[in-house]
Amino acid sequence: MLDIDHYLDFGFPLDQVKFVLCMLFSYPMAMVLRSLPNASTKHMMSIALGIFYCHFSLGAFSWIHSFASSLVCYIMVSVLPRRVSHIWVFVFAMAYLSISHWYRMYTDYMGWTMDFTSPQMVLTLKLTSFAWNLYDGSRPATELTSDQQRRSIKKVPSLLEFFGFIYFFPTFLAGPTIEIGDYLRYTSGLMFKDGKSNGIMPSPNFASLRTFVYGILCFPLIIIGGTLNMDYLLTSSFANEPLLWQAHLHVMLTRFKYYFGWYMSEGSAVLSGISFNGYDSNGNAKWDRLTNVYPIKVELASNVRDVSTYWNMGTADWLKTYVYLRLTPVGTKPTFGATLATYATSAFWHGFYPGYYIFFISTTFLTEVAKDIRRKIRPFFVSGAEEKPIQPWKKLYDIVGVMVTAWWLNFLGASFLLLSLERTLVFWGVFRFIPLIMLVGAFILLRFFVPAPKVSRTPRSA
């Protein structure tokens, strides 16, 4: 048998080379997919390629995890009462993913080699959303929000439709997640049967090429990031640096690996046609249905809210739609319990390394500080009910916000990469724990001692 791995030795980790090859191969295959004559052939092509990607890039028979866990969920929604099946699917899918994370920690502790857990994370989002959509389809329309009605499906799809959705190859390895309703409308052609499209898919070629180029532009920064070693942040040499700038460089460049993967995945999804999202006010086709990140808005965010809004948008939408809002009945205010459950679900979804939980706990404080700054400090830089900026002070406020957000995002993000509690404490020790003291101090000061302005401030200058 031909040992293809021997021919893929380009000086990069083999798993990453195979991942990129699958992403690139998805582009010509996406063009084939959109030209197939009917939904059944599209389902079969997605199943075949999705399983092949798993076998080729993640190891022989790694696809069994996605197949078995999906089949169990399909059986659950088929035989259990509709009023409870979505709960059991949610519990089972999260439990399967959690066991997978524990297994990975046991076999590759603190390693970054890609394995079946990567697509399993995306698959968990798809399986749970599928079960919720089916549950919503059985409820009266009066009990649903407009968004829930849009996402709902009325009946269990066929096995062919279901596994086509599961293994939809452009997004199978790296995401983002897709909705079962969107997938079925795409494969059946209903997505394009509106007044303007008239059943004909607009050309996605330019939009796909643009997204592909965005991904390629990220690649040089991945190369630079690959020359850096996170272990350096734990050494005395790093501690003796005057500005400790390399900590921020390490974390920032790591994000470009995600930008690259998401852009490459999105580009092939756009080329397949599934990313079609109607038309804008100028009559131009929109291809942002599966957009997962806006890197510039993340890197230049002036507050934590913008970071969470424009980073990993598919997962953020899943957490909001299927966790946070499900625990917040229509007409009621969000509770602390709903917020805590959402953060806990996000943490479990990522895995069980202490660094993940350190990051989520610390960013919870950062988020609360940002809320208090917006509520208690920002009013001094805008005026009136329209919040008209008071210049030049508002511009200065925004510039400082960008710098502070970037600094804290990278500082706290280091724990996400260092993974362990011990390594994170060593890293924090280099900073004498001063940033953490500042964070908790700012939270206490703003939350309990700084009052919110009672009246609008008048402009000091035009």
**Where in the sequence numbering do the catalytic residues fall?**
350
Q: How far is residue 384's CA from residue 380's CA, in Å, rounded to a whole number?
A: 11
Closest to 286 (Cα-Cα) out of 193, 178, 187, 207: 207
* Phi, psi (degrees; rounded to nearest 5) at 285: -65, 140
Q: Do the strands 382-383 and 388-389 form a parallel or antiparallel pair, or are they unpaired? A: antiparallel
Distance between CA atoms of 46 and 43, rounded to whole angstroms?
5
Token pair of 199 as six digits: 């059943």
What's the gap between Cα 287 and its chain centre? Answer: 18
207: Cβ contacts below 8 Å, ≥ 6 apart: 270, 275, 285, 287
